[in-house]
Amino acid sequence: MTIWYIVGGIILAAVVLVGLLAVNRRAALRRAEEQRQLRGGGAGRDSGDRDGGGVDLRDRPRLTGIDELPGTGAGEVVLTDEVVEPLPLDRPEAPESRLARLRRRLAGSNNALGRGLLMLLSRDRIDEETWEDFEDTLITADLGVGPTTELVDNLRTRFRVEGVADPAQAREILRSELLALVDPTMDRTIHADRGDTPAVVMVVGVNGTGKTTTVGKLARVLVAEDKEVLLGAADTFRAAAADQLETWGGRVGVPTVRGAEGADPASVAFEAVKVGIEGEVDVVLIDTAGRLHTKTGLMDELGKVKRVIERQAPVSEVLLVLDATTGQNGLTQARIFREVVDVTGIVLTKLDGSAKGGIVVQVQRELGVPVKLVGLGEGVDDLAPFDAEVFVDALLEVA
């Protein structure tokens, strides 16, 4: 009998314990419900579909990535309700060290332009056949017929007049002529300084050029310069674009304004600039949908995005991302984009061992638009300011 009393006592204690746990759980649920009501969230709504004012934002832009920016009111942005331990932020590389790596990467590459320079400087005797081979190599390097002819004519004249006697003298002449062709006088500044409103930088380009990645890397460049940056995910047609951009921003503590998939890109861009103005950030970077330059309707929409942004703040920069390996096709793209949104600068991605460096000269010569940034690889800090002298010296190091 004693055993049965013990068993009964254990069962009774278990029942009491379960009852207490149930009471505590109900109390916790009531407290959570009261907190939701105080925030205006209402019952039975998913936290991802509401903001501090209880407004459903599934069809409007929202801000993610940091606490609510100062100056924004309820119902304007939505933040994630999850409590997440903050991850340590990356420390982006300074622009100076990026330039040093740019020189190392270009000098270590085996691009066609470098090979052409090597061929010219390595010949003991430069005859007509040498000049013809040199000219063919430069055209192969995407330098373009016009710039190639100009460079070869100038070199031939100077070599003849100055009587080149050694490789060092030939190298110096070649450097000065090539530098003049790349044009160090062009303004390569990224105009991202805040005025009365944040600087607004639009990034445009066709699919596959690395546009969204470039926006993320550019954010890192600006953070390294101690600027407060906000990202606008106006590429609403590619499902992963906003997530990708948000990930890039999260690494360096930069917030992202995004909308629902398929939302109007212009509305997302407008909201991003609005949040940037109210939050007094320095720069708003707008990532636009990658669009084929042959699609007239899509290009018109890109123009609309720019016009909508300018209702609140001027667009400081329109950067066109081009794949350095695409050659003439890249130039065709550049011409169309320039007509639609007045491109102010070029970002050349994949300017590494696979690229034909002459595209730098050709795109500037034909468009009158400077190359401002170059991408050199897959690393997070492999986007560097373009420097004409660094570029030319690196090519001559190949030689």
71 is in an annotated binding site: no
208 is in an annotated binding site: yes
289 is in an annotated binding site: yes
Average pLDDT value for residue range 36-62? 36
3-state secondary structure of 37: helix
Beta strands in the chain (DSSP E): 62-64, 199-204, 229-234, 256-258, 283-288, 315-323, 345-349, 371-375, 383-385
351 is in an annotated binding site: yes
Is 373 a member of any domain? no
Average pLDDT value for residue range 183-209? 91
Is 280 a member of any domain? yes
Average pLDDT value for residue range 68-93? 46
287 is in an annotated binding site: yes
Lowest-pLDDT range of 16-30, 69-83, 310-324: 69-83
Q: What's residue 14's pLDDT?
A: 60
Q: What's residue 270's pLDDT?
A: 95
361 is in an annotated binding site: no
For 231-244, what is each residue's pLDDT tens digit?
999 988 887 888 99
212 is in an annotated binding site: yes
Average pLDDT value for residue range 307-313? 94
Q: Which domain holds residue 7?
A: 1-32
The model carries a pTM of 0.76
Q: Examine the fold and report which residue of 343, 358, 391 is the final residue of a domain before the chain moves on.
A: 343
Q: Domain tally for the chain?
A: 2
Is 75 a member of any domain? no
349 is in an annotated binding site: yes
352 is in an annotated binding site: yes
Is 397 a member of any domain? no
Say which CATH number the domain at 305 has: 3.40.50.300
350 is in an annotated binding site: yes
154 is in an annotated binding site: no
Lowest-pLDDT range of 159-168, 170-179, 187-196: 159-168
Cβ 383 vs Cβ 218: under 8 Å? yes
Tokens linked to 149: 């002819």
**pLDDT confidence bin for 160, thresholds 50/70/90:** confident
Is 171 a member of any domain? no
Is 275 a member of any domain? yes
Is 356 a member of any domain? no
Is 332 a member of any domain? yes
Q: What's residue 66's pLDDT?
A: 42
**pLDDT confidence bin for 22, thresholds 50/70/90:** low
Q: What are phi and psi of 332, to 5 degrees?
A: -60, -45
User: What mean pLDDT is reported for the chain?
Assistant: 76
206 is in an annotated binding site: yes
304 is in an annotated binding site: no
Q: What's residue 317's pLDDT?
A: 95
